[in-house]
Amino acid sequence: MNGTTRSSYADTSAIVLGASMSGLLAARALSDHCRHVTIVERDLLTDHTEPRKGVPQSARAHGLLASGYRVMDRYFPGLMEELRHRGAPVGDVVGDFLWFQYGHWKLRHESGVLGITVSRPCLEAAIRRRVRRLPNITILEGVSGVRPIFDTQTGRVTGLVVRRSPRHEQEFLAADLVVDAAGRGSHSPQWLEEWGFGKPEVVTVTVNVGYATRVFERRPGDLFDSNGAIVSGVPNSTRYGAVLAAEGNRWVITLVGTVGDYPPGDETGWLQFSASLPVPVVHELASRARPLTDIVSYRFPANQRRLYEHMNRFPDGYLVVSDALCSFNPVYGQGMSVVALEAEALDEELSAGMHGIAVRFYRRARKIIDIAWEIATGEDLRIPQVQGSRPIGFNTISRYLERVHTVAAYDRLVCRKFMDVLNLLASPTSLMSPRVAWRVFSPRGKSRNISSPLRSERHPR
């Protein structure tokens, strides 16, 4: 992944369906391996940093985990510096951020793991500008992808039928590889069935999450001089709060309620909901800061995973990625980072050629998705009202993780190991290592006072 070296089959072409984050990153990965890449996007795109119709969830607070930060920073040199100059804070994911989980504040200390807090529209626009500059990528805006074309003689997808507007005739764009990055609404299961491959098995964990977001003015010294906060009431509450600093001296505050406990869309009800969180920091900030927008609501029904890796047959010349493959409860902030890690995996697998790319990519993607899925559904299933099959040993593991959260309030190593997992830098099994388990079960910190949101091992700023 170096942006300059092309593979030996650089005379090939690819089409990416969708120009959201997943489509842009997939196109960036493909650009090092194909003569030409075409992104087909039904929306008209601008460089304005406003939410767009095709990404209705973009107004809410978004997190870019350290794993996603690292991939994007490599793919687009100078991106993070540009965002920083636009006012998006870059900082330590532990030292510059506040985490309240399972009744305790995580120990605030310098972990050495960098992240950035930035609005989704700003990040997406900055990446889109860089993708546009790549000489072998074309973005077709306001163009709908109608359907891929499958050649029964060769057993492969040969391109995509598109329509530029209802007034235009359909056109056929030929390609050696078509990538479906169209999100949860992907029609790939239906297309595959029509072509005779059957449908992928689908696994869901229904959470019925509701979000209500408002943007506020950000002033120096707000929120204990941090870049944001996550406040979670799990396992005793269905309510969450997320506060993220964004460019333009803004706070993006999102209130979250699961299993139908949706935050209200009116100001009075929204503030009352924020006051019901287990600690007052979100409510105090929202009550004091100057609002810049109205409240915007969004709902998410279920974690959904399509098991393409289990299909017996899959057509050559076709691939499904990102939310069309698996989508997670957004409260855990995994989406953009999983997309980035999938793009990196696609890039590396393309180095071995396009033939059989689906089998090889899904094998790699499964390892990425398994970790994020285990984190997201593991937390969701701790809420009694969430329906789904709990794995064997679920209660034992849950009790152990509760102890991890407690110890992470005063133990740097345990806190860092937990954050590595949360940021998709390590597997959840790493929390079971002897070194971590010994500290988790050690009695030395049981009597410590760990109730203060300011407990810190860093120097005052």
- The domain spanning residue 246 has which CATH number? 3.30.9
Q: Per-residue pLDDT tens for 273-330?
A: 999 999 999 999 999 999 999 999 999 999 999 999 999 999 999 999 999 999 998 8
Reported as a single tens digit per residue, the pLDDT across 187-219 is 999 999 999 999 999 999 999 999 999 999 999
Q: What single-letter amino acid sits at 292?
A: L
Identify the burial level of 85 via C-beta atoms within 10 angstroms of its C-beta, where 0-12 means exposed, 13-18 middle and 19 or more buried: exposed
Does residue 21 sit in the same domain as residue 68?
Answer: yes
Residue 459 lies in a domain: no
Report CA-CA distances (Å) from 271 to 171, 212, 267: 51, 11, 6
Domain count for the chain: 3
**Confidence band, pLDDT 50/70/90 cuts, at residue 1:** very low
308 and 230, same domain (yes or no): no
| One domain for residues 56 and 148 | yes
Residue 164: CATH number of its domain: 3.50.50.60
Structure tokens at 435: 């070194």
Mean pLDDT (the chain) is: 90
Range of the domain at 103: 88-115+205-300
Secondary-structure percent of the chain, ordered helix, strand, coil, rounded to 5:
35, 25, 40
Paired tokens of 73: 């920073």
Residue 60 is assigned to a structural domain of this protein: yes
How many CB atoms are located within 10 Å of the residue 45 CB?
A: 17
Mean pLDDT of the 147-172 span:
93
Structure tokens at 93: 């994911």
Of the candidates 277, 300, 323, which is a domain's last residue?
Answer: 300
What does the buried/exposed string (b/e) look like for 246-281 if buried means 16 or more CB atoms within 10 Å of the residue's CB? bbeebbbbbbbbbbebbbbeeeeebbebbeebbbeb
Binned at pLDDT 50, 70 and 90, residue 451 comes out as very low
